[in-house]
Structure 1
């Protein structure tokens, strides 16, 4: 019974009850030890065993979806800095990225955050209490508004110059969230003023669905390239925090 699927265990249990009832009815009027009585009992046992063996063979050749093994979730902890950023903490309790003071993007590559198909969830936060001196100086020089933002890249490599297959970018000062492909083109966007949003991405093959702070960026799944890769988290202009990173691989 333990080697059978859960659904087949229930079927076998019901069949056993039925066979027992049929055998009991067939034994009515026969004396104990009579050949007919023994034959009926043996036949009942044979039917149950045959049914169990047949079900097990079918499970081995045609596994059922309700019996598919569920892979354990991943809780990545490894980090490697890129882009002259400095890092504190870990992606579970809180990984803080301190980007370069010149306003360029820096962050963390998470080598054990392998993401192929399945679901990824993480909380993100950008410190918008002020701007770095370098960003403020650039603002005074160019007249352009000082900005700061964060980016979460999926199916990424350890080369920071190689774009991730899919990136979720958030710029609070613009109140905009964007999903970018590997070429930097915007696939979807929405308006948000969230301060501690949760990013959720579900990937199935070449399609991805993205949620930000509970809002789905688009009703239709967006395309995603590549097969597998890790996670890259970075920011510019301000410190950013990544926490409670969980990856649930597709079974």
Structure 2
């Protein structure tokens, strides 16, 4: 495991500045949720941490190593996409083996050991020979999660991993993620639009707006003490109480 340090991170797409000098420290082993409305910069920040995009300026450190110019495959990260990105023509075992074969880092026996361990971790020990089309949405989600963990990465990045599930299954999978992380307490960064999901899963939430961090802290602390009207409104309308100012009277 390793912590993540973001220093002055910025990203521009042409004349549009999607990320505007973000500073953030994520502790080793913590679970952080990046939250905010569409276009706030949370997915851009995740992509810069992963190496899928390169920053215009600033730096990304994983542990003590500056990985700002390091390609994704050399950052020792696990990445789970919203779409799961399982290969439909491969069995579950072959999907899990694929990243290890690409890196050529393990022999067949070690690959088999890691696959068995990953499937046990997500409570799907008997589905290795099935194809993705033979799995439910929740099972596909857990297989994708197992694949992200297969190489024992220092940091796990989750891009809206539960958004394709129906409401009931999404709630169930939130509890599954909590249980899995108890067994594998890896540094985890989640991007989500879902306020309830972020508040439920994360040790720390980071609320973003227009390419900047509006507020960061423990979920209960941020919810109870929002620093701006934007944060209060984003986390729940109950935080805002409309009032009117009455003129002063004598006496």
TM-score of the superposed pair, with normalisation by structure 2: 0.24
Q: Which has the larger radius of gyration?
A: 1
TM-score of the superposed pair, with normalisation by structure 1: 0.24
- The answer to which structure has the higher strand fraction is 1
